[in-house]
Amino acid sequence: MPPSAQTQARPKSAGKKAPSPASMPDAIALLKGDHDEVEAWFDDFEDTNNASRKRKLAIQICTALRVHTQIEEEIFYPACREAGLEEDMMDEADVEHDSARRLIAEIEAGGPGDDHWDAKVTVLGEMIKHHVKEEEQRDGIFAKAKKANLDLKQIGAELKARKEELMQQMKRKN
């Protein structure tokens, strides 16, 4: 189970204090967990011919990516920019998010059987793989964030809290 799924699977006990940032996954572990989870769903999408299953997976993928890009843009990327990470690298990540957002909207507006719908999900998967590689490679955003001495535990706690809030909002909408 990816780290993000492990974290979400823990029940919340009433009356207990929230876990400290030190006990939480750091920002990079949380974001990588999201990457792994979505990658597995893209693989499942490619492996099935069942239209209902494809639709369900596409919704999962799009929801997860909407939340993931939002927490990166609201919390992680600003912290990276403030820490002095290269503007070009951060700008490219923003553009990749914008491109993914447009394709996500097209996927959500369509469904199995629509012209190019499967192809759109496949292309989104390829775009996300590229984006993940840019973030996770040896000289990528994550490596540079580690070198910048960001408080990755604190940022991870903020990312987790915001992710949970956004997921609850999305559940209420659906």
- In sequence order, what DSSP letters do the residues of 39-53 get, joined into one string? HHHHHHHHH---HHH
First to last CA, the chain: 25
Question: What pTM value is reported for the model?
Answer: 0.84
At 92, the pLDDT band (50, 70, 90 cuts) reads very high
At 172, the pLDDT band (50, 70, 90 cuts) reads confident
Q: What is the dihedral of CA 17, 22, 25, 27, to 10 degrees?
A: 110
105-116 per-position pLDDT tens digit = 999 999 999 999
Q: Is residue 125 within 8 Å of residue 42, measured between CB atoms?
A: yes
Q: How big is the chain, counted in residues?
A: 174
- Measured CA angle at 95 (ends 36, 105), to 5 deg: 70
User: Looking at the predicted structure, is the pLDDT value of residue 2 above 60?
Assistant: no
Reading the block at residue 82, the tokens are 């403030």
User: Looking at the predicted structure, is the pLDDT value of residue 18 above 80?
Assistant: no
Q: Is residue 36 within 8 Å of residue 2, measured between CB atoms?
A: yes
Longest dimension (CA), the chain: 51
**DSSP-based three-state secondary structure for 11:** coil
Q: Which residue is associated with the tokens 């496949």? A: 122
Going by C-alpha positions, the residue among 87, 101, 91, 94 that lies closest to residue 72 is 94
What is the Cα 82 distance to its own chain's centre? Answer: 21
How far apart are the C-alpha atoms of 116 and 133, rounded to whole Å? 25
